[in-house]
Amino acid sequence: MKSNDPLLYPPLGHRLFSVWYRHMRVYTQHIVSNGFPPFLEPLIFLAGIGLGLGQYITEDIGGRTYLEFLAIGLLVTASMWTASFECTFGTFIRLEFQKVYDGMLAAPITANDLIIGEIFWAGSKGFFFSFAVLTVMCVVSIFGNVIVPLPQALSAPLIGFVNGMMFASLGLLVTSFVKTINHFNFFMTGLISPMFFFSGVVFEIDRLPKNIQPIAEIVPLTHSVRLMRSICGDDSTLLTNVWDVTYIVVFILVVGYFAVRRLKKRLIL
Amino acid sequence: MTNSSVIQVQNVSKTFGTLRAVYGLSFEVPERSCFGFLGPNGAGKTTMMKMLYARALRDRGHESRISVFGYDPAHQELQIKYLSGVVPQEDNLDEELNVLQNLLLFARFYNMPPTKARQRVEELLDFLELAEKRNELIRNLSGGMKRRLVIARALLNQPRLLILDEPTTGLDPQVRHVIWDKLRQLKRQGTTLLLTTHYMEEAFALCDTILILHQGKKILQGPPKQLLAEHIEQYVLELTEHEANTETLRSRLSDNVRIDPSGQTIRFYSNEIEALKSVADHLPAGQYYLRQSNLEDVFLKTTGRTLNEKQ
């Protein structure tokens, strides 16, 4: 057999890409069952709120109808859900049940490449899920009431991408502690669900009791949602924008760093 | 490379908490040879293999050293992985994809140009007799086909070293012989093989050198035939469910017969077949089995017949 040059192992960028590509390829293998629900979910949500609950809410929020207010939030939360599931249940199943990483780590990639590639992949899923919500909102806006401000809302997938990276880092950090898959229920019910309700998605943070408001400032979703609202033209100050962007960048780097460090210990004995 | 050893391991240990999985292990694997780890479950075989391609890190120590193609897995894992193929203990194929897709996807990790990847995948499908199954989903494959596919995947980058963790465990005899045949072919083509196994016939059929591991330590090392010659008598007389009075049997034995009782079975070992025959003559047919000793006898003699807590 021909001997190959060991120094020809793929460079970092390619290694991260091949991890990303592996996940993308497996995900898109069942494109209908994986790709359709993200479009269906916002439709159900809009119908449920718009036709049902929304009828009772007549008050404006910052000059928007309740439906418009909620729609902007949903552009971001879709990416939170998908990245959180991907990097908790998804990662755990690949790690413990399917043993996918045993195969991948036999290839010329390091554990760091694998985990960082995973974060990029979850970010991409966040991009896609936000894009799906955006598409539904745009279609509804064209044929019915305008519910998302255009063209500003077109930036939603990008916010979905960074938001996905944040929740991927958080999910992987949680996964590094988890011994059985059932433990994720605490994370989902105890942290992700409350974030959906108390981070300025379904109502404004100002409406929270004064002593609880700082807590909303600590959790990640608040910042990506507020940034999205700001892009969509809601009142905001430059200071809040800078704070939100800084928070997101620092969160991804710091939580991501610890997630990589801790999860690596589970991959490399 | 000037040195003809592909793998050099010196005084390597691995501790998990208080458990010593591998302890002070040293060995060398010459190029183009087949080296086998033999040992009961929990002996440290898999851990030792994982340390070679950086799935496990050895304990730090000044005299401890691992070199694979001259690279240290603790610092240069990518070079080692690029030159080696790994067949893990459990098949971990992508169930969502078919045979062809599994291989093409894995070729991505090696940065192989698409046309070259296709060509290499076809070669491997032919080599491992999977060409007809190219479009089959993984769940429709038999255990033997999955195993061959994992081997094909490990061979994608034309590795100079192939690491196999229990390559034929749980497979039927036909598949086993096919896999052995392929591995021998690879060795003839110049690939160095390193494998772990519980099967003595496998070690005997494939390996140039065997290392018997027990509780993380090296018990014996050498060519299979030499281990047989040096560590076990040539013949064995096995008595299962013996009702014969052991004392009367013992009185008939000459001094050069070793007795090894275990559970319901009693084994007499000797280099003189006549000595064993004289015992057998007094036993009813069907109660005994006179045979040549094999690697299993060496293995059981050196690692003990009782189960440890990890088995």
pLDDT, tens digit, 9 for 90 and up, residues A178-212: 999 999 999 999 999 999 999 999 899 989 999 98
Chain B residues near residue A109 by CB distance under 8 angstroms: 78, 81, 109
Start-end of H helices in B28-142: 45-52, 77-83, 99-107, 114-127
Q: Are residues A100 and A25 in contact, defined by beta-carbon separation less than 8 angstroms?
A: no
B119 touches chain A (CB under 8 A): no
Identity (one letter) of the amino acid at A37?
P
| Cβ contact, residue pair A25, B105, below 8 Å | yes
Q: ω before B223 within 30° of 0 (cis)?
A: no
- Chain A contact for B82 (CB, 8 A cutoff): yes
DSSP type of residue B71 = B
Which of the four pLDDT bands, split at 50, 70 and 90, describes residue A8? confident
Please report the pLDDT score of residue B278 as a whole number: 79
Please give the pLDDT value at position A230.
Answer: 95
Substitution target in B111, B160, B182, B194 with the highest count of A β-carbons within 10 Å is: B111
* C-beta atoms of A106 and B95 within 8 A: no
The answer, yes or no, to whether residue A1 has pLDDT greater than 50, is no
Q: CB–CB of B13/B25 below 8 Å? A: yes
Which of B90, B93, B109 shows the shortest C-beta gap to A107?
Answer: B109
Nearest chain A residue to B32 by CA distance is: A1
Q: In this predicted structure, what is the pLDDT of residue B290?
A: 86
ipTM of the complex in this document: 0.88
For β-strands B192-197 and B34-38, DSSP reports them as parallel
Q: Which helix (H) or strand (E) holds B6?
A: strand B5-16
Residues of chain B with pLDDT under 50: 1-2
Q: Which two tokens stand for residue B248?
A: 């009367």
Q: Are strands B34-38 and B209-214 parallel, antiparallel or unpaired?
A: parallel
Domains of chain B by start residue, with CATH = 5-223 (3.40.50.300), 233-292 (3.30.70.860)
**Interface membership of B94 toward A (CB under 8 Å):** yes
Query: Which residues of A fall within a CB distance of 8 Å from B95?
Result: 98
CA dist A126 and B132 (Å) reads 39
Beta strands in chain A (DSSP E): none
Nearest Cβ partner for A26 among B71, B96, B106: B96
A30-77 pLDDT, tens digit each: 888 888 999 999 888 888 887 788 788 888 888 888 889 999 999 999
pLDDT per position as a tens digit, A233-248: 888 899 999 999 999 9
Rounded to two decimals, the pTM is 0.90
Q: Please give the residue of chain A at the shortest CA–CA distance from B190.
A: A1
Residue type, B19: L
Q: What is the reported pLDDT for A84?
A: 97
Strands (E), B122-165: 161-165
> Residue B254 gets which letter from DSSP?
-
